[in-house]
Amino acid sequence: MLNITRAVSNISGVDVMISNRLEYLLLALIDLATNKTKGYAVSRDVAERQGISPKYMPQLMALLTKTHWVESARGCKGGVKLAVEPCKITVGNVMEIAGEPLIIKACVKQEYECKRKNECPLNFLWVKAQNDINRIVETTTLADLIEIKSHLEKGISPEADLGE
């Protein structure tokens, strides 16, 4: 169903990739969703389980609480917890709040000017690939990622049961 890897391309001389920020937001959400029954989680513990710098967690949690996907509480029994169902959050939603769209090549954008754009077979290929990426990130939910994680933990290939 899904293969999330670090993708690198060059857009107008600038390297573009799936950033650590986006990856950390997704990992934090998966962690909170899989530990949901335990109530509030300490963000430092989430960081440790996911290999995220604890110094970076406040920025990530601020983004997630601003969207109302995560609730936070102060005090000795406080922490953070997922506030919405995992099926309500898509990878595309997370990309949007991270402010990091995944664009494989500048020419896939309508506003990009290229003299060869309308006659270039590569443009057709890049647009098709971009549309596939957009479809995947807009239809893959946090619940899907949790299911993939569960399959991986059981030693089962995610593709076996997830439509690939």
Dihedral sign for Cα atoms in the order 65, 25, 17, 91: negative
CATH code, residues 8-161? 1.10.10.10
Which residue ranges make up each domain of the chain? 8-161
Using pLDDT thresholds of 50, 70 and 90, give the confidence band for residue 2.
very low
Question: What is the rounded CA–CA span in Å between residue 57 and residue 52?
Answer: 7
Does residue 6 have a pLDDT over 80? Answer: no
**Which residues have CB under 8 Å from 42's CB, separation 6+?**
79, 80
Tens of pLDDT, residue by residue over 125-154, are: 888 988 998 999 999 999 999 999 998 988
The mean pLDDT value of the chain amounts to 83
pLDDT at 67 over 80: yes
CB-CB contact of 1 with 164 (8 Å): yes
Query: What band does 14 get if pLDDT is binned at 50, 70 and 90?
Result: very low
pLDDT of residue 68: 96
Highest mean pLDDT, choosing among 31-40, 91-100, 115-124: 91-100
Predicted TM-score (pTM) above 0.85: no
| Six token digits for residue 65 | 């609480």
pLDDT (tens digit, 9 = 90+) per residue, 16-37? 467 889 999 999 999 999 987 6
Q: Is 100 exposed, middle or buried (0-12, 13-18, 19+ CB in 10 A)?
A: middle
Burial class (CB within 10 angstroms; exposed 0-12, middle 13-18, buried 19+) of 121: exposed
